[in-house]
Every structure is written in C-alpha cells, then in structure tokens.
Amino acid sequence: MPDSRLKIWCLAARPKTLPAAAAPVIIGTAMAFSANSFHLLSALAALFGALFIQIGTNLANDYFDFKKGTDRDDRLGPTRVTQAGLVSPQSVKIATIVAFGLAFLIGIFLVYRGGLPIVVIGLSSILFGVLYTGGKYPIGYIGLGELFVFIFFGPIAVGGTFYVQTLTINNDVLMAGIAPGLFSSAILVVNNLRDIKSDRLSGKKTLAVRLGESFSKWQFVIFISVGSLLPICLYLKSDNYFHLLPSLIFFLSLLLIRNIFQKSGKELNSLLAQTGKLLFFYSLLFALGSVL
C-alpha cells in the first residue's frame, strides 16, 4: 500500500482516540497485578481487543455519519475520510467489519479464559459500537452517548480486564472503573460541544443539543473533577498512600476546566486531545500507585 494510503487509513482509525481504549485495560491489569493474578496473554488480548473495537467503532461512525448526512462540509472536527472523499463508503464498511472481526477472533481466547461473562462483554461492546451511529435510533443521536461511553469505557472495561486475569471481581475494581468512564465521557462532551451547531442542523440530538452549551460545560467540569478525585475513595478503603497518585492530575485538570469556558468551535479540538492525554496519564499513575 502506498504511503499516502496508509496515512489515510491511519487517519480513519483516529489513533488519538485509542488511549481511551487502552487506559481502562491498563487500570484493570494493574489491579490484577496488585492482586497477584497478573496474566500476560489475557492482558495483551484485552488490550488489542479493546483497540480493535475502538477502531471498528471509529470506522463505523465515519461510515454511518456519512450515510446519514451528519458529516457536513462545515465540520469542525478531524477529517472524516468518507465525507472527505478519501475512501469509498464501501471500503470503510469493509474495514469496519475487519476491525470488529479481529476483535472477535481475539475474544475467542478471552472467552476460553473467562467464559460467559466475556461473551456478554465482547458481543455487547461490538454491538453498541455499531449502534452508536448505526440503526434507526443511534445511541449517539438520541442523547445517550455519555451514558454508554461511561459504562463501556469505565466499569465494564476495567472490570472485564481484571476478571479475565483473576477470574474474580470486586467492588473496588468497579469503583476504579468510574474514573476512566468519566474521563472518556468528558471527551465525548467536548466533541458534542464543538459540534453543537452542525448537530442541531443535522437533527443529531446529543445532550449538548438538548440541554445547551452551559450544561455541557458544567458536565465536563463535574466529570473531570470527580474522575480526578476518585482515588481518594480508594485510598480511604486501603490506607495506601500510593493510591492517591492518580489524583495529582486534578491540578492539570484545572487547566482543562479553564479552557472549556474559554474556547469554542474548532478551538475545542485541542481540548479534546488534552482530555484524552489526561486520561492516559491518569491510567499510568494509577498503575504505578497499584504496583508500589
């Protein structure tokens, strides 16, 4: 494949979104390591499975948003390859199937390892990855995007990663999943706030469209603040000072909170990227605090 074609497909995969898929796996794996139940093959399978599901979802969004006419010429977000005419809709559709197919193949090992719960997690993740923008009533079009992102990028992703390694689950793991779920939802809030005008014209009824810009900005503040400070709850249960490490990002989050009130339109693309980096940095600090 020529270099230019490779770059186009990398653009379609939207690599800047991948830390959101990796972060909960890092957190779940760190907690499994802390519980003396780290399983390398399961951790790697969970990571690559999550990445392929994220890529598949990104491609599905590219395809379905184009087919529904949501991606307009005045789009403020990163380039969508279908809307830009860089790749045909049929090619993007095939690539979506391939990405989800690879996730499914990886999931076979995870099912062998973890059984029925992994079947439910894997198939529902793929299903909702398609239904986020596909189907008659897409999740992202009716104001339920943040809820589903929180669930699948939070407690389910962290809990599933921990479970497939330890074959157990507990409340602390599910609590730990709240933070990455909130950060990932905050990324979506920024995305929807940026696109509020075009979404309103396209009939895409996100929470930003339904409840307005002010609501979305304070929604972002709450998600980022609660996510940053959640490790305090884990510290109070364990009395391990290292569990407080991830909360150091609260001071960084103050800069993002300032930006949500100062930026608008295309300027929010930088804030979206910063929120993704904050989530990834949080996961690394969480992992460090768990293994120390």
Q: What is the rounded CA–CA span in Å between residue 116 and residue 120?
A: 6
**Which amino acid, 199?**
D
In the chain, what is the straight-line distance between the N-terminal and C-terminal CA atoms, in Å?
45
Q: Find the largest Cα–Cα distance for the chain.
A: 55
Q: What is the rounded CA–CA span in Å between residue 12 and residue 94?
A: 13
Pick among 1.10.600, 1.20.1270, 2.60.40, 1.10.3470: CATH of 3-291: 1.10.600
Q: What is the per-residue pLDDT for 3?
A: 54
3-state secondary structure of 162: helix
Q: What is the per-residue pLDDT for 16?
A: 85
**φ, ψ for residue 53, nearest 5 deg:** -65, -40
Q: Please say whether the beta carbons of 251 and 218 come within 8 A.
A: no
Two tokens at 63? 């395809």
Classify residue 21 by burial, with Cβ atoms within 10 Å: 0-12, 13-18, 19+. buried
Place of tokens 């793929």: 126
Q: What is the per-residue pLDDT for 1?
A: 43
Q: What is the rounded CA–CA span in Å between residue 126 and residue 112?
A: 18
Place of tokens 């779920």: 181
Distances (CA, A) of 248 to 239, 244, 289: 17, 7, 11
pTM of structure? 0.94
Per-residue pLDDT of the chain (292 residues; tens, 9 = 90+): 445 888 999 999 999 889 889 999 999 999 999 999 999 999 999 999 999 999 999 999 999 998 888 876 666 777 889 988 899 999 999 999 999 999 999 999 999 999 999 999 999 999 999 999 999 999 999 999 999 999 999 999 999 999 999 999 999 999 999 999 999 999 999 999 999 998 998 889 999 999 999 999 999 999 999 999 999 999 998 888 999 999 999 999 999 999 999 998 889 999 999 999 999 999 999 999 998 8
Q: What is the per-residue pLDDT for 4?
A: 87
Q: What is the rounded CA–CA span in Å between residue 206 and residue 192?
A: 7
Query: CA 12, 160, 23, 140 torsion: positive or negative?
Result: positive
The structural domains of the chain, with segments of one domain joined by +, span: 3-291
